[in-house]
Amino acid sequence: MAKGKRKELVEIIKEWQSLENDTIGLTKILFNNTENSFVQVMISIIRHDSEKRRAMLQIALNHMARDTARLSS
């Protein structure tokens, strides 16, 4: 992957992680503001999905950083 494209992809992934963090924060607020058990379950599923995506994105960033270090040595 070209260096410029890699940098662009890293920025996109970081922005995506930020959105996932925002979603996680919002679901915590929403969960505490409802007593409806169905809504709480749906909110928990959304939060869990965002937590998993955030983790997978971090793995991708770590992998890309490792490959960059390996190529530049």
**Domains annotated on the chain, with CATH:** 3-72 (1.10.287)
How far apart CA 35 and CA 64 sit, in angstroms, is 43
The per-residue pLDDT for 68 is: 61
The per-residue pLDDT for 4 is: 85
Is residue 44 within 8 A of residue 7, CB to CB? The reply is: no
Stated pTM of the model = 0.81
How far apart CA 21 and CA 41 sit, in angstroms, is 19
The per-residue pLDDT for 71 is: 52
- Residue 6 burial (CB < 10 Å; 0-12/13-18/19+)? middle
pLDDT tens by residue, the chain, 73 residues: 677 888 999 999 999 999 999 999 999 999 999 999 999 999 999 999 999 999 999 999 999 888 765 555 4
